[in-house]
Amino acid sequence: MSNGGVLGLAGPARVYDCLLGGKDNYAVDRELVRELLRIEPGLVDAARANRAFVRRAVRELAGLGLRQFLDIGCGLPTNDNVHQIASRHMPGARVLYVDQDPLVLVHARALLVDDGDVAALQADLRKPEDLVAQALDHGLLDPSEPIGVLVTSVLHHLTDADDPWHTVRTLTAALPPGSVLVISHLTNTPTEPAPGTPTPPDTPPLAAPPPPAGIPLLTEPPPPLEQSLSRAASTPAGPRTAGSSAEDPSPEGASAEGASAATGSVAADASVSAAVAARYTEGCSLPLVPRDPAAILSLLDGLELLSPGFVPVEDWRPEISAGTPSEPSLYLAAAATIPH
């Protein structure tokens, strides 16, 4: 989900694209990214680690035999999209992309116009019943077969008033048995990955593909984010709490040990997370609501987690690599099966 059409504000999909080193972003998006990096320079690595997690998750789900995928809040196309990953490991896989941002849909449909196994539709995760109805009525996905549903780097754009817990329940209730729900979510409690966790080999800056024919570049190529980092002030902006949870849902069906393990060693002051959330919410067309591990895990209440459970994104089935240990993770992730 990304609402990038509010005049004068950054758009979530374009901000994420900027963090990944893409070109489909405006000056307003790049300026917000620079300001966020002054507060939390780890956001670039976090975005790359999250994207690497998505690639591994799609690969693993295809390895389990899933042949169809629903990518909610898909964002702008990058150089290794879900349908490309899925088709490498499951030829003939079908992928339905969903996003709320019209700009995302323009790029996605132009890119996918010649692929009969891929489609895109516009829907809003804040209206989950409508989204589910559109997705299942579209015709690309077979509602009688298991579906891999990706809701990655999206649920933290829903406030508590939007009730992401209801959103997840609505999605899972509509899925056929054997389906798998994959989530990743920014946390306000950065956590240390397990000792010895390698840095995935696919986390260098991603080069965005050229736009499809007829779709002009949104802007001139942005300056490298490394330049933004070098210009960033060393003093973070003053913290301002935004989107803090008024209630702390208690996980019951999902493993309580998972929440404890994911909590790990707190490696950064929570005020940094609050400052990032405040500035993002002020400058972007959607809010940013990092949550604590217990609240994130409670989104999966009643579902069975796939190994390795609820962990930092870097720890979810990492590639075998001689990479250096990861920095404290800003994203937590899990994959959960829909019971038969």
pTM of the model: 0.78
How many Cβ atoms from other residues are within 10 Å of residue 62's Cβ? 20
DSSP-based three-state secondary structure for 337 = strand
What is the mean predicted confidence (pLDDT) over 100-106? 89
Mean pLDDT of the chain: 80
Which of 77-81, 150-154, 269-273 is predicted most confidently? 150-154
- The secondary structure of residue 266, as a DSSP letter, is B
Residue that wins the pLDDT comparison between 114 and 241: 114
Q: Ramachandran region of residue 321, left (φ > 0), alpha (ψ -120 to 50) or beta?
A: beta
- Residue 327: CB atoms within 10 A of its CB come to 18
- Structural contact between residues 297 and 253, judged by C-beta atoms closer than 8 angstroms: no
Residue 326: predicted pLDDT: 56
Per-residue pLDDT band for 105 (boundaries 50, 70, 90) equals confident
Mean local confidence (pLDDT), 117-136: 95
Query: Position 135: which residue type?
Result: A
Judge whether residue 331 has pLDDT over 60. Answer: yes
Residue 321: which pLDDT band, with cuts at 50, 70 and 90?
A: low
- Per the model's pLDDT, the better-predicted residue between 271 and 247 turns out to be 271
How sure is the predictor about 305, in pLDDT bands with cuts at 50, 70 and 90? Answer: very high
CATH code for residues 12-337:
3.40.50.150
Q: List the chain domain ranges.
A: 12-337
pLDDT attached to residue 254: 46
Give the Cα separation of 130 and 119 in Å (integer).
17
Strands 94-99 and 118-122: parallel
